[in-house]
Amino acid sequence: MSEAKKLPAPVTNPETKPFWDAAAEGRFLIKRCTACSKPHWYPRAICPFCFSSDTVWEESPGEGVVYTFSVMRRSPTGPYAIGYVTLDEGPAVLTNFVDCDFDKLAIGDRVKVKFQPTEGGAPAPVFAPA
């Protein structure tokens, strides 16, 4: 099992503040464009697909599958795994994987978001086996 690695505080700005406010309540938000109806992540004010500014916040269950990952075995804070999760809604999220045996973690595994404390900031979204 992996030890929880203390993550640096996320950098917030007006564009992403609602995301981090929700994260502090344990809710995972994505954004959806009302012009082309595609969801995206990370949250941006302008849709990355059609460049519309008609984007709205949407709460997500934060569930998806491991798209790819890499295990860093030599780290001063111990091994950790980072990679991409493809959310059920479609967008890919760059994240840390936690609460799993890195030797058994596999592409295609079902994972779910959870929030991990950071150094004095909003909790950061990480993913664990569902």
Binding site for Zn ion (CB under 5 A): 33, 35-36, 47, 49-50, 52
- Minimum distance, C-beta of residue 41 to Zn ion, in the bound complex (Å): 13
CB-nearer residue toward Zn ion: 33 or 85: 33
Q: What is the DSSP track for 59-125?
A: EE--EEEEEEEEEE---TT--EEEEEEEETTS-EEEEEE-SS-TTT--TT-EEEEEEE-BSSSPPEE
Nearest distance in Å: CB 4, Zn ion: 36
Q: Which is nearer to Zn ion, 31 or 125 (CB)?
A: 31
Q: Which residue lies nearer to Zn ion by CB, 41 or 97? A: 41
The Cα 43–Cα 28 span in angstroms is 11
- Cβ 51 to Zn ion, closest distance in Å? 7
Pair type for strands 63-72 and 110-116: antiparallel
Of 55 and 96, which CB lies nearer to Zn ion in the complex structure? 55
Antiparallel, parallel or unpaired: β 110-116 and 92-97: unpaired
- Please, what is the minimum distance in Å from the beta carbon of residue 21 to Zn ion? 24
Q: How far is the CB of 20 from Zn ion (least distance, A)?
A: 23
Nearer to Zn ion, 30 or 33 (CB): 33
Tell me the CA distances in angstroms from 126 to 10, 34, 47, 55, 129, one per residue in order.
Answer: 12, 27, 24, 24, 11
